[in-house]
Amino acid sequence: MHHLIAPSLLAANFANLTPDLELVNNSQADWLHFDVMDGKFVPNISFGFPLLKACKSVCTKPIDVHLMIVEPEKYIEQFAEAGADIITVHYEACPHLHRTIQQIKDTGAKAGVALNPHTPVSLLENVLEDADLFCLMSVNPGFGGQKFIYNTIPKVRQLKQMLIEKNTKAHIEIDGGVGLQNAEALLKAGATVLVAGSAVFKSKDPVDTIRRMKAIGEDLYMV
Ligand code: DX5
Ligand code: ZN
């Protein structure tokens, strides 16, 4: 299967979102990535339900909601109702992760688990068959436009191996500092979803940047 591209709304123009949502609709992007921050789990506050609802009314692609919040279990149903197609919670924010994953699935959304850069992938061992997606943060969550943490690459390789051993088809998503410069290395390591905020929306031609990110590593899929 070809890899997926998920432009992150965090880098869009908040004073005029519709053109940015429409360019995502009219591009080869697969999902729209939607970052929710609560000022507690991360040192920043972004946006929530009303904006998700508004985006859902314009966006034709599945919306990939990344919850960088404490106690995400309190809000899962509301995010699903507001239009989330994929809901990702942080390993570090979930003392009852297995239950939270089931709670997400019960809403009909796909369930994701995200790891901060310092959290080892080995901790996912007992939920490998439960989640639909594993998101490896390649920056410390909270802000767009940060520098990619290179140590993510061996983590991707390790997680890929763990998923192969369990024979599961879960996605490996990479979030933070991703762009044309590191996409190929990530895909070779086993990534299947690339989130890109600044790399897409701060580029001259976002639709073309998405097309180029999608075309990277075409040869990886020839076999
Ligand atoms: C960071 C967010 C990311 C962010 C990525 O906490 O989770 O999704 O939008 O932005 P870039 O691609 O600019 O690093
Ligand atoms: Zn994110």
In the structure encoding, which two tokens stand for residue 9, read together?
Answer: 């709304």
Would residue 64 show up in a list of annotated catalytic residues for this protein? no
List Cα–Cα distances, 125 to 68, 98, 134, 135, in angstroms. Answer: 22, 12, 12, 14
Local structure of residue 67 (DSSP, 8 states): E
Q: Which atom of ligand 1 is nearest to the CA of 198?
A: 13
Rounded to whole angstroms, the Cα distance separating 144 from 208 reads 20
Q: How far is the CA of 150 from the centre of ligand 2 (A)?
A: 17
Amino acid 222: pLDDT? 62
Cβ atoms of residues 68 and 35 within 8 Å: yes
Identify the residue whose C-alpha is closest to ligand 1 atom 10.
Answer: 144
* Sequence-separated (6 or more) residues with CB below 8 Å from residue 218: none
Would residue 130 show up in a list of annotated catalytic residues for this protein? no
pLDDT, mean of each 10-residue run, the chain (223 residues) = 94 98 98 98 98 98 99 98 99 98 98 98 98 98 98 98 97 98 98 98 98 88 60
- Ligand 1: residue of 115, 143, 200, 209 to mutate (most ligand atoms within 8 A of CB) is 143
